[in-house]
Structure 1
Amino acid sequence: LLAGIWAELLGVERVGRHDNFFELGGHSLLAVRVLVRLTEALAVELPLAILFAKPTLADLALSVGEVLNGSGAQAAPVIMPVGRDGALPLSYSQQRLWFLSQLDEDSTNYNIPLGWRLQGRLDRVAWRRSLDRLFARHEALRCTFVAGEDDPQVQILSGDRGLPVVEHDLRDRPDAQAALLDLCQEEARTPFDLAREPLIRGRLIRLADEEHVFLLTQHHIVSDGWSMGVLVRELSSLYRAFEAGEDDPLPPLAIQYPDYAAWQRQWLSGERLQRQAQYWRDTLSGAPARLALPTDRPRPAQQSFAGTSVPVVIDQALTRGLKRLSRQHGTTLFMTVLAAWAAVLSRLSGQDDIVIGVPTANRRRREIEDLIGFFVNTLAVRINLSGEPSVSDLLERARRAALTAQDHQDLPFEQVVEIVQPPRALDHTPLFQVGLAWQNNTVGSLDLPGLRVEAAGEGLDQVKFDLELNLGEQGEVIAGTLGYATALFDRATIERQCGYLLALLRAMLADAEQPVRELDILPAEERSYLLEELNRTEADYP
């Protein structure tokens, strides 16, 4: 059973009893999906740590057998469809986002923009039909949110109305490229009305007979990063079928997002809710309210979401070394980079107690893997660097912090904030101000017959936190971006921080037993400037 699950999720033909899950290409997100499959097959829930402790197939099988022979943790009940006649509740995460939107109804902070340039003959009828079918298929995309007497409620729009798309024809415009840029910016900066309109919309912009740009914008309250992958896959399948004159090829969905929201409120209650709440209360008790990073400008009285990013590339040799270090210490690449990022933040702030926000897909049920909806959760991962830890000590601390947080990921971040009750202020996010996102779940690209598809459109220049490190494996390297709030930092400062991270990762490889605080992360020029140039105090006197 385990070998079959591994082969499916890892994309390998054969799995041997002594094969190691992580050496076959496994990572944290795939580990969660393995446990989801086991839950479905054996009706038992297992902690994520079991796969990290027993990463070889035979050892894991023995551990699972021991759990089955014991009492074991019973799996959560199956998600069942609920009636659509009465009031439908929001999920916990949706409710928090709805509340935030009431504070600033014109905000675009939670818009998710996508854009594609389509070159070739676009079958406009098949494209339109594909968009409408996607809209009808996923109730999440047809949800609106209205204020009730006590709590907000979900109302579902008819699937017959179709996905709203505005068309523009720029074929005869001499300033077509400038007009395209204006349309992209206008689209990205147009807010949604959560109570009245579909929270997904498109624009089809025609530049030539065989060149279009399609912009698709969604509100985060109905979608997330994993959903982008579902959307791209299904849109590709639908267009291929409709363009060829075939019927809808997608299997019907057994449940919809409102069913999950109702299930979540029923399941996350009682003893289970108390257990998760107590974990976060204990874990985050006494955590610093704010990370005291040195900034280039004073922090504004109200948090600004304006931001941009610099590229980050961990080269092939360093990536290979980090994989080797991770195997030696039983961590994933994400955990190893998490440890290094915490160490850099500790150096910059002078604090030993670091809390980093880590998004998690939160798709621990097989029934919801193919749904579009707002499932993602954010975990406040706390790493303590006090007591002179060595590199290997820090890796173990990061590993333990990440695994226990993952095992308690069901409690929405919004409820964690309410439980911990950190000091609140308008100038920074509660619990943490720095994030680390590991991109295991790639969106993929549209696969449309007869068309060459490239990314297009203007993304929003926004960040949710002071610093946002977004990384993932891209072939033989680890690459991504370091996003930053432009109200606080200059680009040169962020580029220096990227250099610190790369230098610390290299130093970790050199000797895993050396104390973390002794790792040298300053480049020679900066060290010379700090220690020599700033200390040249000699002056001429008469």
Structure 2
Amino acid sequence: MGAALDAQVPVRTIFEASTVAGLALRVEAHAGTGGRLALVAQERPEVIPASLAQQRMWVINRIDPTSAAYNIPVAIRLSGLLDVAALGAAVRDVVDRHEVLHTKYPDTSAGPSQVIVPSREVIENISPIQVSEADVLSRVTEVATVGFDVTRTAPVRVALFELSPTEHVLVVVVHHISGDAFSIAPLTRDLVVAYSARVEGESPRWAPLPVQYADYSLWQRKVLGSENDPESVISRQLAYWSKELAGIPEQLALPTDRPRPARPSMRGGTVAFTLPSETVTRIGAVARDNNSTVFMVIHSALAVLLSRLSGATDIAVGTPVAGRGERVLDDLVGMFVNTLVLRTQIDPSSTFVELLTQAREKDLAAFGNADIPFERLVEAVGRERSSAYTPLFQVMLTFQNTAMGALQLPGLEVSALEDGYEQAKFDLQLTAVEQINEDGRPGEMQMYFTYASDLFSAETVELFAARFVRIVEAVTEDPSVALRSIDILTDDERHRSVPQHVKTVEDLPDLVAAAAEVAREAIALSHDGRHVTYGELFEKFAAVSKSMGAALKPEALVSVALAGLFPGILPALGVDGYAGTVETLIAESQSIAHSGSD
């Protein structure tokens, strides 16, 4: 729209117009005002700087070049008579077409730079490697999980496995510094064109790309301007984010099954679930009635879930933005994606509609300030990076509402191969995939919770998913429901929350013992950066209980001074096993002595 009108049309303009006619009137006011600087081929300096997004990937790679956390692997099974020579030539054609696929990133006095090397140095002859059906997944995983030193080599790897003369598996691995998830579509299209031409003995006949990634990185710096200029794009957006993220919590304390390691393994798992089409239809209705989007409804529901799980009211989640605002980038492979932080305040007494209104404003403002790289946000807020968790947010929300094109190669049946290796870059990531039926109506929405195996078990995340579904069902049936009134427990959870042999909820010793029996390593208490598991709590409780038992008479009144949560809760639990009444006193003043003597 902006390109057609030679104007910059703010995202908010689209939402402020409830009809096409109203949008036309609002957009007309921007027509002819001049869009952003046109993205065209740039004059190449001697040193081409890495783009701002690439700088983030470069720093992460320098911390651990052996890590495969930011590898993007694609494995496809090819059934039929494969022309291996044509496939090799086609892969080389595609790598040669996109400069970013034959670029390495050495350090310079000005920071990381892009050095474009001949494509033949990246991809040589592709020779099939003989493997058995039983071994192919492990061999694919081996290829996908080897890191890249991006300062020394172009971060692209290709392998071809032969299971039989008519069964092959092609593996392509690209580091995030040279590509993103949205790059898979142009990569796939180009491979189809190149292979189709090569099997006929011809070179691919495609239109040359108008720009390359290096052109984009040079153009990006011109558009954003200098931080020394208060009127520049980057200065204005920095001012917005500095204010928006001021005072943001360091971490979101979700209930984990295991303590957070100092250095995460990146091992992950996925829990898949579905929102039925009837629910998706109601989500759309809630979005339309409140001048918002399906994404905003899902974001609001996720914020409610995270608040209920953690007890926090200041909820921040991350979300990716494609970063391909210019039409000439549609067919380009490269690292364009950026990460935004969406922050909401949860008031339990407010309604879901009120939360949705807040999320709408927050989301629109965030997408309107989406040019500044995430790494710069971290610096602006003054947060030091930790190897243990992502700064600013630990939960990611991704939304996919565009169908991925199918890969069709002449004479071959093509299917995706799941290598079974899952990674988790965040504590938790919710991915929502919209589907449209043939009649144009909303279909089921496929949902996936990807979780860090260091922190969560699959059973715990399955409970998260069930609770999320209950929240979505509740708020779409009655959007005016108060947040505190949303019942997130399933009947099964409610039944299992109290062990059957426990007579009353006041029977704390039995509750602790029962919890330790079924979830010994789960976190029971978290306070001020300290954690105690149910197993540790039971052992300490038992020790206190044993020492108290001989000294206390049945039904005795006992006062326990709580000098902080962890020192005080153990005597309180231990005494509760014998005393009739436990009186807790907060030991913060001298009056505690008088209260105790009374």
Normalised TM-score (structure 2): 0.79
Q: Which residue number corresponds to residue 519 of structure 1?
A: 486
Amino acid at match of 2:74: L
Asked if 1:198 corresponds to 2:154, the answer is yes
Q: Which residue number corresponds to residue 184 of structure 1?
A: 140
Amino acid at match of 1:187: V
Aligned mates of 1:454, 1:480 — CA distance in 2: 22
Q: Which runs of 5+ in 2 are unaligned?
A: 437-442, 511-553, 555-598
Tell me the CA shift for residue 459 of structure 1.
Answer: 5.2
Q: Which residue number corresponds to residue 215 of structure 2?
A: 259
Matches within 5 A, 1:86-485: 86-161=46-121, 163-164=123-124, 166-170=126-130, 176-269=132-225, 270=229, 271-386=232-347, 388-422=349-383, 424-458=385-419, 460-475=421-436, 476-485=443-452
SS at match of 2:127: strand
Amino acid at match of 1:153: S
Q: Which residue number corresponds to residue 66 of structure 1?
A: 29
Tell me the CA shift for residue 229 of structure 1.
Answer: 0.9
Tell me the CA shift for residue 532 of structure 1.
Answer: 7.9
Asked if 1:47 corresponds to 2:3, the answer is no
2:348–2:483 contact (8 Å) kept in structure 1: no
Amino acid at match of 1:68: A
Q: Which residue number corresponds to residue 465 of structure 2?
A: 498
Asked if 1:489 corresponds to 2:456, the answer is yes
SS at match of 1:310: strand
Aligned mates of 2:127, 2:456 — CA distance in 1: 39
Q: Over residues 141-197 of structure 1, what are the superposed CA-to-partner deviations in whole Å (9 max), with x where a residue is unaligned?
A: 011011112312211011344634653343xx6xx1233123112101111121232
Aligned mates of 1:67, 1:52 — CA distance in 2: 15
Aligned mates of 2:433, 2:71 — CA distance in 1: 23
Aligned mates of 1:403, 1:382 — CA distance in 2: 12
2:348–2:484 contact (8 Å) kept in structure 1: no
Asked if 1:510 corresponds to 2:477, the answer is yes
| Farther off after superposition, 369-378 or 327-336 | 327-336
Identity of aligned residues (%): 35
Amino acid at match of 2:90: S
Aligned mates of 1:493, 1:457 — CA distance in 2: 24
SS at match of 1:525: helix
1:113–1:460 contact (8 Å) kept in structure 2: no
Amino acid at match of 2:288: R
Asked if 1:77 corresponds to 2:37, the answer is yes
Tell me the CA shift for residue 131 of structure 1.
Answer: 0.8
Q: Over residues 196-233 of structure 1, what are the superposed CA-to-partner deviations in whole Å (9 max), with x where a residue is unaligned?
A: 32211211111111111111111000000110111011
2:128–2:161 contact (8 Å) kept in structure 1: yes
2:71–2:173 contact (8 Å) kept in structure 1: yes
1:313–1:478 contact (8 Å) kept in structure 2: yes
Q: Which residue number corresponds to residue 31 of structure 1?
A: none
Tell me the CA shift for residue 45 of structure 1.
Answer: 0.5
Give the number of aligned pairs.
497
Asked which structure has the greater RCO (Cα within 8 Å, sep 6+), the reply is 1
Aligned mates of 1:168, 1:179 — CA distance in 2: 15
Tell me the CA shift for residue 424 of structure 1.
Answer: 4.2
Larger Rg: 2
Tell me the CA shift for residue 461 of structure 1.
Answer: 2.1
Aligned mates of 1:185, 1:139 — CA distance in 2: 27
Q: Over residues 310-357 of structure 1, what are the superposed CA-to-partner deviations in whole Å (9 max), with x where a residue is unaligned?
A: 112111221122122222222221111111001000000111110000
1:232–1:443 contact (8 Å) kept in structure 2: no
Tell me the CA shift for residue 304 of structure 1.
Answer: 3.5
1:225–1:443 contact (8 Å) kept in structure 2: no
